[in-house]
């Protein structure tokens, strides 16, 4: 997901944001409902009524998508998995679940929770439409939302990763075979197969007189295909990284800096000289903290001669650490979760090295080249 989004608020502590692409789909959908769908289904209203109902239906549709994502988020929380953010974008919504579910059951419930919300909303909107009575603006809005939520329910249950149905499939394969890696790759490949189906259907629609819907269908197929491929690659990376320990890839040649080293000396003599991006700050042989490029950049440049390493360092108790016996996937996940580029490697309270994203990349290159 791109970082080009705007925060609109929080629900139950979870940040909600809109990707820039969302504004495009919001406009297109309001336009297609107001100028085409409602006028053809319910002739005889004033033009402004179509636009108001089109806008209202679009807002309620995205509220429905948001509730679908909140369904996933609530289930994730139930299994004590934090949710980083919910983003609405051109193809709907995504709840960023921070960790992989720990069991096939939790994966199953987190995946199915969203479609269950859509199904419930679909039924609710149809009941509201019946209650609104004969052909009226409210009936039109509610029955459209009833239809669209049932469509979301059905679409998301298509059993190809990364759709919810693909996650359900993955959870079932995982539960049966106890092999997460194989389950992911099968579910993702089913997802690719289905994605090609969407693209083919889109092309057929384009050749017939349904060009715009065909383009949209093919576009969804392309999105699903690339997401499924990314999932396979991530799984392969994960399988490789899980085979190796932090101790094998970490950097043990630490540069220990005296606490009173001024930042200009640190930059010119160490950073630019060695290219190392992170340093341990010490006094009398006792490590006090860690300095990375990130902390140096936060200090104003004209104060580099009077600011010392210990002024800007992350104190030892706040520095992110990992034990040398952990696997590399755990290390990478920890960096992602904490939003840092390196971790201190600490063994029984003693710093034995550091591991960074660059270390992981060069380690991966090495094992690739050596074919081990
Ligand atoms: Zn979902």
Q: Which of 196, 215, 242 is the last residue of a domain?
A: 242
Tell me the CA–centroid distance for residue 69 and ligand 1, in Å. 6
- Mark whether 222 and 262 lie in a shared domain: no
Count of structural domains within the chain: 2
Is the per-residue pLDDT at 3 higher than 70? no
Q: Which of 242, 277, 307 is the last residue of a domain?
A: 242
- Mark whether 219 and 261 lie in a shared domain: no
- Mark whether 212 and 316 lie in a shared domain: no
- Mark whether 87 and 105 lie in a shared domain: yes
In terms of average pLDDT, the best of 97-101, 227-231, 336-340 is 227-231
Q: Report angle CA 367, 273, 277 to the nearest 5 degrees.
A: 55
Is the per-residue pLDDT at 31 higher than 80? yes
- Among 49, 69, 85, 99, the active-site one is 69
- Mark whether 151 and 283 lie in a shared domain: no
- Mark whether 22 and 160 lie in a shared domain: yes
- Mark whether 186 and 253 lie in a shared domain: no
Is the per-residue pLDDT at 339 higher than 90? no
Over range 312-318, report the average pLDDT.
85
- pTM for the predicted model, two decimal places: 0.74
| E strands present in the chain | 5-11, 14-19, 83-89, 92-97, 256-258, 278-283, 286-292, 314-315, 321-322, 342-347, 350-356
Over range 306-317, report the average pLDDT.
86
Is the per-residue pLDDT at 68 higher than 50? yes
Instruction: Please report which confidence band the pLDDT of residue 82 belongs to, taking 50, 70 and 90 as the band edges.
Output: confident
Read off the pLDDT of residues 36-49 as tens digits, 9 standing for 90 and up: 888 888 888 888 98
Tell me the CA–centroid distance for residue 112 and ligand 1, in Å. 8
- Mark whether 233 and 331 lie in a shared domain: no
Which of 294, 291, 306, 308 shows the shortest CA–CA distance to 255? 291
Read off the pLDDT of residues 265-294 as tens digits, 9 standing for 90 and up: 888 888 887 777 888 888 887 888 888 888
- Mark whether 235 and 337 lie in a shared domain: no
- Mark whether 317 and 230 lie in a shared domain: no
Q: Is 69 a catalytic residue?
A: yes
Residue 334 belongs to domain spanning = 246-370
Q: Which of 188, 209, 242 is the last residue of a domain?
A: 242
Instruction: Please report which confidence band the pLDDT of residue 2 belongs to, taking 50, 70 and 90 as the band edges.
Output: very low
> Is there a contact between 64 and 118 (Cβ–Cβ < 8 Å)?
yes
Domain of 343: which CATH number?
Answer: 3.10.580.10
Tell me the CA–centroid distance for residue 7 and ligand 1, in Å. 20
Tell me the CA–centroid distance for residue 114 and ligand 1, in Å. 5
- SS3 label, residue 284: coil
- Mark whether 225 and 138 lie in a shared domain: yes
Over range 181-202, report the average pLDDT.
92
Tell me the CA–centroid distance for residue 158 and ligand 1, in Å. 11
DSSP tag of 303: G
- Mark whether 121 and 265 lie in a shared domain: no
């Amino acid at each position: 997901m791109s970082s080009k989004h705007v925060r609109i608020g929080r629900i139950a502590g979870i940040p909600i944001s809109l990707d820039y692409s969302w504004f495009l789909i919001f406009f297109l959908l309001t336009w297609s409902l107001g100028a085409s769908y409602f006028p053809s289904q319910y002739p005889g209203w004033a033009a402004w009524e179509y636009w108001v109902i089109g806008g209202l239906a679009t807002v309620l549709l995205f509220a429905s998508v948001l509730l679908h994502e909140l369904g996933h988020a609530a289930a994730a929380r139930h299994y004590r998995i934090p949710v980083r953010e919910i983003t609405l974008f051109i193809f709907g919504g995504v709840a960023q679940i921070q960790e992989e579910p720990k069991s096939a059951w939790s994966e199953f419930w987190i995946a199915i929770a969203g479609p269950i919300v859509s199904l419930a909303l679909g039924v609710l909107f149809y009941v509201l439409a019946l209650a609104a009575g004969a052909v009226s603006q409210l009936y039109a809005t509610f029955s459209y939302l009833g239809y669209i939520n049932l469509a979301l329910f059905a679409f998301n249950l298509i059993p190809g990763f990364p759709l919810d149905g693909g996650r359900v499939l993955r959870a079932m394969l995982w539960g049966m075979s106890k092999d997460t890696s194989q389950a992911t790759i099968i579910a993702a490949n089913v997802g690719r197969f289905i994605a090609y189906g969407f693209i083919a259907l889109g092309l057929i629609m384009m050749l017939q007189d349904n060009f715009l819907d065909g383009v949209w269908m093919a576009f969804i197929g392309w999105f699903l295909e690339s997401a499924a491929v990314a999932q396979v690659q991530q799984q392969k990376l994960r399988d490789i990284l899980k085979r190796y320990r932090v101790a094998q890839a970490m950097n043990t040649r630490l540069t220990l800096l005296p606490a009173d080293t001024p930042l200009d000396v640190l930059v010119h003599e160490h950073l630019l000289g060695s290219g190392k991006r992170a340093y341990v700050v010490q006094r009398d042989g006792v490590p006090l903290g860690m300095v990375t490029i990130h902390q140096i950049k936060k200090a104003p440049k004209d104060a580099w001669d009077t600011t010392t390493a210990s002024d800007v360092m992350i104190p030892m108790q706040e520095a992110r650490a990992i034990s040398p016996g952990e696997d590399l996937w755990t290390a990478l996940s920890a960096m992602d979760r904490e939003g840092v580029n390196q971790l201190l490697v600490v063994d029984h309270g003693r710093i034995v090295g550091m591991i960074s994203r660059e270390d992981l990349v060069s380690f991966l290159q090495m094992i690739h080249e050596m074919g081990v």
